[in-house]
């Protein structure tokens, strides 16, 4: 389960001018062209700080969807399999799915197509208490490693990472869940290390537990989470696909420029996701911590002004081969055949100056 980080509602008066301008942009766009309704489903059940900030909250609030003639509805699925079922059954036009999940769908005869990369790096790493004697992957041999779920695929990735450096994967997998029990397990010595993802590490930092990290080089070779549609929809509605990803790329650019404003927008869009025991300033600051951690992996190596979303065929082929070797795929589908960069140019075809001006105005 992903951590839910939230805040009290409310925007300071100093942002009033910014919101008036955003309203004018959205209203103008709404009258400029007919509106097409589309649905996208995220592959996890709870709304939390992560991709939904720039995929939905920011572009909706700032009129980026309306500027493309889109009325976007976001919903959640219990997992990637369920998200894929939404997509293939026609109950959603777009879905966020990790590479191995999408490739599994194609092996079963479905036709999902990834058209924009959302994460350059899926964000998994090994976390350790400061001062731990474990300083490298090799040191994990024979140690107790905590996972949100002991039977998760992340244990397979850690095992593969050890095999790649010639170390037998003799670590013991321990389930630590996804909440405060993670810190308890580490501090009590029940586990020597934990393998978690970016947003959880951000949540732990907000709770006062800042961990040291050991990165897994294999994560720089595997394909990350992508925005996916179907082959049929991409062929029949290319303008909608391009408009949707152009809008959320604007949202990503705004978010990277001003994560605090993006978090405030997120909380305004999702007011029920808020802790009752924190004031607004604290909740926003903690949300920014989580978002920055998430972005540091998702946009790893991507310059702020660079165009975003290109899918790497080599990574997708490597993912297909790796997950087939690990037993998660049959090995009957090509990774690179599951993606397209046809939309990369139109997805990035927008003037960044007005977005930068909005981000700057939101700080005043």
Of 176, 205, 220, the residue that ends a domain is: 220
In a shared domain, residues 252 and 351: yes
How does pLDDT run across 157-183, given as a tens digit for each residue?
A: 999 999 999 999 999 999 998 778 999
Of 220, 237, 252, the residue that ends a domain is: 220
Q: Sign (positive/negative) of CA torsion 278, 282, 287, 290?
A: negative
Give percent of the chain above pLDDT 90.
77
Q: How confident is the model at residue 149 (pLDDT cuts 50, 70, 90)?
A: confident
Q: Look at residue 153 and tell me whether its pLDDT is greater than 90.
A: no
C-alpha 295/C-alpha 255 separation (Å) is 9
Residue 156: DSSP 8-state: H
Mean pLDDT value of segment 187-203: 93
Note down the domain range covering 176: 125-220
Half-sphere exposure of 250 (CA within 13 A, CB side): 28
Classify strands 112-117 and 70-76 as parallel, antiparallel or unpaired. Answer: unpaired
Q: How confident is the model at residue 22 (pLDDT cuts 50, 70, 90)?
A: low
Of 169, 201, 220, the residue that ends a domain is: 220
Q: Who wins on pLDDT, 150 or 284? A: 284
In a shared domain, residues 150 and 235: no
pTM for the predicted model, two decimal places: 0.87
3-class SS at 26?
A: helix
In a shared domain, residues 25 and 129: no
Domain annotation covers residue 293: yes
**CB 248, CB 54: distance < 8 Å:** yes
Please state, rounded to an integer, the average pLDDT across all residues of the chain.
90
Number of domains in the chain: 2
CATH code assigned at 178: 3.40.190.10
Mean pLDDT value of segment 290-306: 93
Q: Look at residue 93 and tell me whether its pLDDT is greater than 70.
A: yes
Mean pLDDT value of segment 277-303: 91
In a shared domain, residues 266 and 341: yes
How many other β-carbons are positioned within 10 Å of the β-carbon of residue 193? 25
How does pLDDT run across 308-341, given as a tens digit for each residue?
A: 999 999 999 999 999 999 999 999 999 999 999 9
DSSP assignments along 81-121, one per residue = HHHHHHHHTTS-SEEEE-HHHHHHHHHTT--EEEEEES-SS
Task: Supply the pLDDT for residue 152.
Answer: 73
How does pLDDT run across 236-274, given as a tens digit for each residue?
A: 999 999 999 999 999 999 999 999 999 999 999 998 887
Task: Supply the pLDDT for residue 262.
Answer: 98
Mean pLDDT value of segment 31-60: 90
Mean pLDDT value of segment 177-190: 91
């Amino acid at each position: 389960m992903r951590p839910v980080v939230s805040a009290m509602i409310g925007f300071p008066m100093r942002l009033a001018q910014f919101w008036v301008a955003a309203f004018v942009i959205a209203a103008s766009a709404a009258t400029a062209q007919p509106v097409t309704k589309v649905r996208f489903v995220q592959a996890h059940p709870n709304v939390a700080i992560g991709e939904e900030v720039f995929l939905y909250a920011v572009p909706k609030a700032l009129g980026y969807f309306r500027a493309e003639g889109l009325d976007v509805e976001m919903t959640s699925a219990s997992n990637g399999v369920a998200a894929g079922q939404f997509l293939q059954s026609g109950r959603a036009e777009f879905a966020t799915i990790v590479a191995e999940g999408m490739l599994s769908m194609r092996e079963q005869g479905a036709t999902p197509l990834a058209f924009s990369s959302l994460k350059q790096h899926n964000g998994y790493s090994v976390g350790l208490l400061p001062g731990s004697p474990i300083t490298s992957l090799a040191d994990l041999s024979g140690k107790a490693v905590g996972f949100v779920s002991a039977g998760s695929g992340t244990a397979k990735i850690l095992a593969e990472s050890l095999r790649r450096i010639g170390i037998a994967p003799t670590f013991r997998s321990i389930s630590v869940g996804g909440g405060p029990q993670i810190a308890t397990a580490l501090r009590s010595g029940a586990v020597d290390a934990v393998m978690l993802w970016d947003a959880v590490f951000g949540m732990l930092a907000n709770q006062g537990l800042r961990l040291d990290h050991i990165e897994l080089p294999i994560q720089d070779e595997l394909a990350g989470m992508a925005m996916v549609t179907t082959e049929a929809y991409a062929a029949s509605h290319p303008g909608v696909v391009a408009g949707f990803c152009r809008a959320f790329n604007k949202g990503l650019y705004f978010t990277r420029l001003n994560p605090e404003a993006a978090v405030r927008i997120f909380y305004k869009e999702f007011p029920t996701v808020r802790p009752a025991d924190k004031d607004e300033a604290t909740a926003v600051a903690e949300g920014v911590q989580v978002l920055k951690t998430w972005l540091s992996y998702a946009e790893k190596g991507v310059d702020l002004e660079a165009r975003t979303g290109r899918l790497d065929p080599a990574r997708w082929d490597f993912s297909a081969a790796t997950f087939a070797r690990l037993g998660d795929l049959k090995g009957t589908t090509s990774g690179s055949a599951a993606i397209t960069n046809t939309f990369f140019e139109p997805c990035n075809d927008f003037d960044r100056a007005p977005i930068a001006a909005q981000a700057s105005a939101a700080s005043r």
